[in-house]
A = this chain, B = another copy of it.
Amino acid sequence: VPITSYKAIVVYDGTHYYGWQKAEPHKTIQGEIEKAIAQTTGENSLPEAASRTDRGVHALGQVIRFTLEKAKSPQQLHRSLNAVLPCDIRIVQLEECDFHPTLDAIGKKYFYSFDLSPVPDPMRRLYAWHIYLPLDLEKMINASSHLVGTHDFTAFTNDSSVTITPEKNPTCTLQSIEITPEGILIHGNRFLYKMVRNIVGTLVYIGSGKLSADCIPNILVSRDRKQAGVTAPAHGLYLHQVLY
């Protein structure tokens, strides 16, 4: 059977989801999109994503691929999927395109959002990490320069199997880390499990004085998760863009 492949860019508010990956009986982004495809086309087709975002993580530019046995026009499919998807998941672009959502990706950008107001902003409580302590952004920017480049990021992943599984590659290249009072934008070629949130938590610890400004090289070399800072909460994280 010839199949038609579609590429879509999806934005979602992860607050009420158990993450991207289908995990019944939980509500997941993958599960909701699968349901929407079935509802509008009658076909069972499990979408694949560029990034399996964790529970509570948001996406501004998730990229997914799914296939249909009976081709539909992208415009029609786009409209009908959005008509049945929950309003916290929106497809912003859809085209006919065959590609591999993870293997073809040459990089990803994640944004981590801060709320630095003295009293947490109620409107942002689900969309940014409120930080009580004053942050020394200059210190954080200096420290982040030691993370940019190609390194073994074992110390920054919560996947402890990295250290004992030779097939798992702990080496990633970060192209840039941009730090502003609004948050941190990280561009890398690939990311380990919870790596962004561990980098953010570590930089926030440096900015608030809980870790010394020059600790990054030692943490990287240690390959020990316990040396790095806290895992930043999920609700501040956005999959910003996937680059192909």
Contacts and interface: CB of A to CB of B under 8 A. Distances in A.
Interface string A93-127: 00000000000000000000000001111110101
Question: Which of A82, A89, A119, A125 has the most chain B CB atoms inside 10 A of its CB?
Answer: A119
Contacts of A82: 119
A82 B119 CA distance: 9
Contacts of A118: 92
Interface in A113-148: 118-123, 125, 127
A15 to B, nearest CB: 9
A87 B125 contact: yes
A123 B236 CA distance: 12
B58 A13 contact: no
Contacts of A58: 123
Nearest to A91: B119
Nearest to A123: B13
Interface string A61-100: 0000000000000000000001000011111100000000
Contacts of A122: 11-13, 87-90
B119 A11 contact: yes
Contacts of A87: 120, 122, 125
16 contacts: A11-B123, A12-B122, A13-B122, A13-B125, A87-B120, A87-B122, A87-B125, A88-B122, A88-B125, A89-B122, A90-B119, A90-B120, A90-B122, A91-B119, A92-B118, A92-B119
